[in-house]
Amino acid sequence: METLSLLGGGMLDALTPMNLAWACIGVLLGTFVGVLPGVGPAMAVALLLPVTYGLDVTSALIMFAGIYYGGMYGGSTTSILLNTPGESASVMTALEGNKMAKAGRAAQALATAAIGSFVAGTIGTLGVIFFAPPLAEFAVQIGAPSYFAIMLLSMVLVSAVLGASKLRGFLGLFIGLAIGLVGLDGSTAQPRAMLGLNQLAEGIDVVVVAVGLFAVGEALWTAAHLRRKPLQIIPVGRPWMGKDDWRRSWKPWLRGTALGFPFGAVPAGGAETPTFLSYVAERKLAKGGKGREKFGEGAIEGVAGPEAANNASAAGTLVPLLALGLPVTATSAVMLAAIQGYGITPGPTLMTDQPDLIWALLASLLIGNALLLILNLPLAPVWAKLLRIPRPQLYAGILFFASLGAYAFRQQPFDVALLVVFGALGFAIRRFGIPVLPLILGVILGPLMEAKLREALDLSSGDLSGLFNEPIALIVYAIIVIVVVAPLVWSRVAPTATPTTPHEVLEKDRQEVGS
């Protein structure tokens, strides 16, 4: 019940007219940027960071909550109306969603995505409200050794388990870790890896890295391969659903939510796996009644389930983010950078140090979610028009706002130069297939990890046992070993080509459907 009263307090903070206005602006801006083709949620959030610079922390976070959910929602609109999802999380939504749109049911596809997002987002946010505080309470008690182990686990999971190539995952991670080294050493204040540039003394701002990688890198990469033939865009009216659509949608929404939230909440998450599982589950369950589209022909279940899973997992990622300070998706990594940018130290103590702030944020997530539904159902035709924006101007605009964000932060041309450097890196990692998530995670967690390692070993005067003297640390190390070893053993035991990653399963599936 304490939770409810805290939430009530947060609601009161969030519902002041000013903060409500910021939430509205956040939702609109987030959707606006998220709908733009080529702009995924991570880029949307990174690009909109500077907008919140001048605000006080509470308003900034409230606006940010709106941007976060708005950006997520915007991405799914794009993938339904254009058949080329920009984000791995939207791949599954696009499969059936685009077929529905082509069959003249774009309005229903958008409606089930929007309402499903609302349902999943609301349940997911409630999940955050009930799970994050106890987890944080538990996490406050764990010491540096366990914290170090948990960070190590999330790095190993993100680099080795997600993604297609372990080598490239670890390359990304260590590039990020190296970037995180730059600056004055935390405890001895000696310059490290600064290339003799004094402007780097405070380290490289994660926001500049994120905007460089996500926005500038993406713009440069797209410029090199710009589609010259415009994509076919499906016109859409106001989203609505008939009775049958409702009947077919509500169960997939709930199932999708149930799949998405836990995957988002464990530090191995991401939305890729749960959206995929939801798609497969819905397809298995859909026996195809009379007069209903089958899967592959635009089944509404195939949009409702994955889209709910996507949003529930987005909410789920807030659990480790708020309770442990651990980001598990690219978007939440940018969120973490934003929180740091407001001068708040993320981590287990966040909820006890800044209870008002966190509860206002959680309350505004609920409010933002409702605003999203109210604003976006009528605005969908307007958003759909955005897909026609000419590409040269679109990417010029992205570069414009990215540069503005980097420059406005400290008003140093040097920061803009840094942005261009990370843009070049962003181009390179796209060209060479290196995943961006381990990289950004390395930048954020590297310095934190070093601090915890030194803390742990200082306490034990350098004795390595200082890393293993907590039971939680031992358990986490055991998990790391299992996660790394199990796939190796599995491939020995069952050397047949059992598809293990979503990509492989889907590929196999397509072949079966095709044959």
Partner 1 sequence: MSTTSPEAPTPAPAPEEKAPERGVDVGQIVFAGVLGVAGAYVVVDATSLNIGFADPVGPRLFPYVIGGVLIALSAIWIVATLRGDRAEPEDGEDVDLDQKSDFATVGKLAAVLVANVLLVGVLGWAVTGGLLFAGAAWSLGSRTLVRDLLVGVVLAVLSWYFFYVALGVPLSPGILDGIL
- DSSP secondary structure code for residue 115 in this structure: H
Nearer to partner 1, 248 or 452 (CB): 452
CA–CA dist 192, 182 (Å, integer): 6
User: Does residue 458 touch partner 1 according to CB under 8 A?
Assistant: yes
CB of 447 to partner 1, least distance (A): 9
Task: Copy the structure tokens of residue 408.
Answer: 């406005």
Question: Among residues 256, 257, 248, which one has the least CA distance to residue 298?
Answer: 248
> According to CB under 8 A, which residues from 157 to 176 bind partner 1?
160, 164-171, 174-175
> According to CB under 8 A, which residues from 365 to 384 bind partner 1?
none
Nearer to partner 1, 53 or 490 (CB): 53
The pattern of x and - marking residues 201 through 220 that bind partner 1 according to CB under 8 A reads ---------------x-xxx
> According to CB under 8 A, which residues from 324 to 343 bind partner 1?
none
Task: Copy the structure tokens of residue 116.
Answer: 């499903």
Task: Copy the structure tokens of residue 80.
Answer: 């339904």
CB of 286 to partner 1, least distance (A): 28
CB of 226 to partner 1, least distance (A): 6
> According to CB under 8 A, which residues from 75 to 134 bind partner 1?
78, 82, 84-86
Nearer to partner 1, 242 or 433 (CB): 433
Q: Which of 203, 391, 469, 509 binds partner 1 (CB under 8 A)?
A: 391
- DSSP secondary structure code for residue 294 in this structure: P
Nearer to partner 1, 297 or 450 (CB): 450
SS3 192: strand
CA–CA dist 33, 37 (Å, integer): 9
User: Does residue 430 touch partner 1 according to CB under 8 A?
Assistant: yes
User: Does residue 396 touch partner 1 according to CB under 8 A?
Assistant: yes
Q: Which of 22, 118, 147, 221 binds partner 1 (CB under 8 A)?
A: 221
Q: Which residue has the tokens 């903070």?
A: 13
Interface region with partner 1, contact rule CB under 8 A, candidates 253-261, 282-290, 336-344, 402-410? 402-410
Strands (E), 307-396: none
User: Does residue 226 touch partner 1 according to CB under 8 A?
Assistant: yes
Q: Which of 1, 488, 497, 513 binds partner 1 (CB under 8 A)?
A: 488
User: Does residue 197 touch partner 1 according to CB under 8 A?
Assistant: no
CA–CA dist 453, 147 (Å, integer): 9
User: Does residue 319 touch partner 1 according to CB under 8 A?
Assistant: no
Name, in order, each residue with C-beta under 8 angstroms of 70's C-beta and a sequence gap of 6 or more: 26, 27, 28, 29, 30, 31, 32, 33, 34, 44, 368, 372
Cβ count near 388 (within 10 Å): 10
User: Does residue 475 touch partner 1 according to CB under 8 A?
Assistant: no
CB of 407 to partner 1, least distance (A): 6
Name, in order, each residue with C-beta under 8 angstroms of 406's C-beta and a sequence gap of 6 or more: 207, 208, 211, 212, 415, 416, 418, 419
Strands (E), 431-492: none
# binding residues, partner 1 (CB under 8 A): 87
User: Does residue 288 touch partner 1 according to CB under 8 A?
Assistant: no
Q: Which of 462, 497, 513, 515 binds partner 1 (CB under 8 A)?
A: 462
- DSSP sequence for 5-66: HHHHHHHHHHTSHHHHHHHHHHHHHHHHHHHSTT--HHHHHHHHGGGGTTS-HHHHHHHHHH
> According to CB under 8 A, which residues from 13 to 72 bind partner 1?
37-38, 51, 53-55
Q: Which of 29, 100, 107, 156 binds partner 1 (CB under 8 A)?
A: 156
Q: Which of 407, 469, 472, 505 binds partner 1 (CB under 8 A)?
A: 407
